[in-house]
Chain A
Amino acid sequence: MFVLQVATAGIATGSVYALIALGIVLIYKCSGVVNFGQGGYVMLGAYAAYALTRAGLSPPLATVGAVLFLAAVGAATELLVLRRMLKAPVVAVMMVTLGILILFRAVCLAIWGPDQLAFPQIFPQGAVQLAGIFITYNYVAAAVLSLVLSLAFLAFYRFTSMGLSQRAAADNSRAALAVGIHVSNQVSVAWAVSSALAGLGGVLLATLNGLSLTLSSIGLVAFPVIVLGGLTSLMGSLVAGLILGMLEAFTDGLLTPALESFLRAHTSVYSVGALQQVVPYLLVGGMLLVRPQGIFGQRGTERV
C-alpha cells in the first residue's frame, strides 16, 4: 500500500517535471538555447495565478490567465533578449538565461515577499480511493493534466502544419528559410509555448507543495530530466520526467528511512539530509559519463 502511495506521488510530480522539461527541450531544439531560467517562468506562472485570484478571478480562469500571461512573457524574452544573441557563445547564452532567472526571482521577492503564501484551491478538495490508497484530487489533476498536455503537445508537433514548420526550423534553419518558413517567428512561438507550459507547471506544483520562491529552483531539477531523456527528444523528457519523479519519491519515502536506520545502527551518522535532492544529480553524473546523449537523444556529429 505504502509503495503505491509513494508511486502515485512520484508520478504526479514526475509528470509536472516532464511538462517543464518539455519546454526546455522545445526551445533547445528550435534555437540551440538551453533555458537555465525555466524555473523563473515556473515561479512567475504560480505567482501570476495567485495575483489573478486575489484580483477576483475564479481559480480556473486565473490559471488560464496566468498561462496566457506567461506565453506573452516568453515571447517578449525571445524578442528582447535572445534574438539579439543569436551568434553569442554558449556560456553567454547560459548566463543570460540565469540572469533572467535572478531578475524574475527578485521581482517576485519585491512584490510578494519571501514567505510562503496560501495558494488558492483550484481543484475540488477530497480524494479518490483506488486500489486501497487515497489520492487527493490535486495529485490526480496534476498527473492527468500534465500527461494529457504533454501527449497533446507531442501530437501537435507530429501532425499539424505549424508543428511541421517548428520541426523544420529546429532541424535545419537555413533549409527552413529556403522553403519559406519564418524561422525567427517559429523560435518566438517556441518560447511562448515553452513559457506557457512552465507557467502551468508552476500552478500545478503550487497546488501540490504551496507557493514560494523555492519554485524557481525546480528549473534546475528539470536539467537532470532533459539530460536523462536526451536534450533533443521530446518523448525522452516525458519518460525521464516520470522516472525522476518516481526516483525522488522513492528516495524520500523508502531509501532515506532505510539508509538512516542502517547508519544509526552501525555508525555515528544520524541523518543523510535531503538525499532526494541529490539523487537526480548523481544519476546525471553517471548518465553523462556512460551515455551523454541520454536515453532517447541522438549523438551529434561535428565538422571542423
Chain B
Amino acid sequence: MRARRLAAFVAVAVLAIAGSFALGRFGAYLVHAVAIAATGALALNLLTGFCGQISFAQGALIGIGAYTAGNLGNAGWGFGALLGGGIAGAVASVVIGLPALRLRGLYYAIATLAAQFVLEYLFKIAEPLTRGISGMNISPLKLFGFPLVSDQAYAALSIAVLTLAWVGLAAVMRTNVGRAFLVVRENELVAKGMGIDVVRTKLWAFLLSGFVTGLSGALVGFTTRLATPEAFALSLSIDQVAMLIVGGQGVWAGSLLGAAFVALVPEAIQRLGEAFHAATLLSAMREMAFGLLIILFLLFEPRGLAALLRRLVRGLTRLAAARNPPASAALTASRYPATGGSSEKAH
C-alpha cells in the first residue's frame, strides 16, 4: 500500500515536471515560485509542525543557501552548488538551533528572531561574500555542462527538488528519529522520561530542516539571479511561517497548499489591482489581505487548508452518498463490518 502511494506520488510529480515544459513563461515562473516556497515550508514544517521548534530565522537560512550556492555556481560548480547551499543551510541551522538545546518555545522563538537580525546584518557587511547591499549577481545553474536559463527548466528542477524533499522527509518521519520528533513536540520532559535523547533529536531536526531550507535557498538564488540582503529579511521568515499556518502544521500537503496560497493570492490581488488601475493602493492592499488572512485562518481554521480540504472532500462524498442510497449502504456495510452478519463473512 505504501509502495503504491509512493508510486502514485512520484507519477504525479513526473507528470508535473513533464507538464511544466508545456507552460508559458509566466506560468512556469509561478510554478517554480510556488515549488521553491513549498520546499522551504516543508523544512519549516519538519521543525515547527513535527518537532515543535518555532523559527523566525527561515528567511536568513534561505539567504545562506542562496549566497552559498551563488558563490559556488559563479565559481563554476554545477550540482555541487545546489548541494553546497543545502549543506551551508544545515550547518547554519544547527548553529542557530544550539540555543534550543537550553531554551523552549517562546524564548527559542526570540532567539531565532535575534539570529535573523544578526544574519541580515552579516549579509550587508560581509561584502567579499555577498557584495553587500548592492546585491550579488548569480550566473545560471550549470547542469551536465549546460546552463539552465528558461523558467520552464527551473520549474521542472524545482518540482524535482520538492518531490525529493517531500519523499525524503516523509520517510524520515517513519524512522525512530522521526517518531522522537513527535514526542519532543508534545512534551520534552515526557520524551526524556521515555529515554529519548532530546538534544540529539533536536539536532537532527535542525540539520534536516536546514539542509532542505538551504536547497530551497539555492534555487531562490538561481531563479532570481540576484541575491540582496532585503530579499532575505524578516518578512520572508514571516511569509514562511504564514505558509505553515495557512497550510496546516504537521501535514506535508499543508506546506504545498500554504505555499501556493501565500504565493498566489498576492499575485492575484496585484492582477486585480492592475485591472482597476489602483496601483498606488496595491502594495497596501496586498499587505492588508495578507495580514487579514493570517488572522482569519488562525481564528476560524487553525488547522489550515489541509484540514479544510479534507473536510470538503468528506462533505462531498457524503453528499454524493446521499444522492445514491444503494452505494452508501454498500459503503457503510463494508466499512463497519460488525453491523451486518453477511459482510462479516466476506472479511
Interface residues of A (CB under 8 A from B): 34, 81, 84-85, 88, 90-92, 94-96, 98-107, 109-110, 220, 223-224, 227, 231, 269, 271-275, 277-278, 281-282, 284-285, 288-289, 292, 302, 304
Contacts and interface: CB of A to CB of B under 8 A. Distances in A.
A107 B286 CA distance: 11
Contacts of A96: 294-295, 298-299
A302 B298 contact: no
Contacts, number: 129
Q: Main SS of the interface on chain A?
A: helix
11 contacts: A34-B106, A99-B294, A107-B284, A269-B125, A273-B121, A275-B121, A278-B117, A278-B121, A285-B111, A288-B102, A304-B190
A82 to B, nearest CB: 10
| CB-based closest 10 A-B pairs | A103-B291, A99-B294, A102-B291, A106-B287, A110-B284, A106-B288, A281-B114, A109-B284, A99-B295, A278-B121
B99 A288 contact: yes
A224 B116 CA distance: 13
B241 interface: yes
Contacts of B23: none
Given A100-B295, A292-B102, A285 B114 contact: yes
B291 A277 contact: no
Contacts of B294: 95-96, 98-99, 102
Contact of B245 (A92, A227, A274, A288): A92
Interface in B84-139: 99, 102-103, 105-107, 109-111, 113-115, 117-118, 121, 124-125, 127
B302 A92 contact: yes
B113 A220 contact: yes
B341 interface: no
Interface residues of B, number: 46
A204 B243 CA distance: 36
A100 B187 CA distance: 29
A278 B118 contact: yes
A94 B244 CA distance: 13
B117 A103 contact: no
Contact of B241 (A81, A95, A274, A284): A95
A235 B124 CA distance: 36
B110 A288 contact: yes
A196 B187 CA distance: 37
B287 to A, nearest CB: 4
Contact of A99 (B114, B125, B286, B298): B298
A102 B290 contact: yes
Question: Which one of A94, A105, A106, A269 has the greatest number of beta carbons of chain B within 10 Å?
Answer: A106
Contacts of A289: 99, 102
Given A95-B241, A96-B294, A274-B121, 13 more contacts: A81-B299, A91-B54, A91-B245, A95-B245, A103-B287, A109-B287, A220-B234, A227-B107, A231-B106, A269-B127, A273-B125, A277-B121, A281-B118
B281 interface: yes
A199 to B, nearest CB: 19
Contacts of B291: 99-106
A227 B298 contact: no
A81 B295 contact: yes
B115 A285 contact: yes
Nearest to A37: B291
B329 interface: no
Contacts of A288: 99, 102-103, 107, 110-111, 114
B292 interface: yes
